[in-house]
Amino acid sequence: MIHFSPTEIPDVITIQPRVFEDHRGFFIETYQKEVFAQAGIYQTFVQDNHSSSTRWTLRGLHYQVAHTQGKLVRVVIGEIFDVAVDLRKSSPYFGKWVGAYLSEINKVQIWIPPGFAHGFFTLSDRADVVYKTTDFFDPLSERTIRWDDPTLGIDWPIPAGIQPLTSEKDNSGGLFKETEVFE
């Protein structure tokens, strides 16, 4: 049985799939439309993505102002700390964030609905992250909020003395107070 758990922002849900394990390895069902719909996740997925990152890589915080994407995120190799930031102005959780540890060991997934910025920090030597999206990538509507925005105050598990590996796009992201938000 798949276990769905709302986070501190109830629309963001962690998902613990049932794992069938034996001497050969394991099998998990990571998505089943009817089971997810029973848990209130009705979206249709249109694109699958796979990213691979080295230790201390920080990606995000990304979102799209048009073609907003919901994301079903999981890790197939390694471990990350995954973060979602609520950008829905009408939400009581506007400007709040939640984080979850996702790994190949715990097999936890996270559902991040449209209207959120998303990012993650790689904790293992390598992490392969796969995720389904509810809309297509649109580079013209993509936006980035700085991962270290002081207003958000995200408690990234970055060890003392470590400078995260980031892209130029992520380094030049805007501040939360300048963010294009959703109604």
Which amino acids are annotated catalytic? 62, 131
Q: What is the distance between the alpha carbons of residues 137 and 63, in angstroms, rounded to a whole number?
A: 10
Cα(138)–Cα(78) distance, rounded to whole angstroms?
A: 28
Note the pLDDT of residue 1.
84
Tens-place pLDDT, residues 14-61? 999 999 999 999 999 999 999 999 999 999 999 999 999 999 999 999
Task: Collect all residues with Cβ–Cβ distance below 8 Å to 38 and sequence separation of at least 6.
Answer: none
The amino acid at residue 87 is L
pLDDT digits (tens, 9 = 90+) for 113-164: 999 999 999 999 999 999 999 999 999 999 999 999 999 999 999 999 999 9
Residue 183 has pLDDT above 90, yes or no: no
What does the alpha-carbon distance between residue 99 and residue 97 come to, in Å, rounded to a whole number? 7
Global confidence as pTM: 0.95
C-alpha distance from residue 140 to each of 9, 45, 94, 131, 132 (Å): 28, 20, 24, 21, 20
Domains, the chain, with CATH or none: 44-178 (2.60.120.10)
Q: SS3 for 134?
A: coil
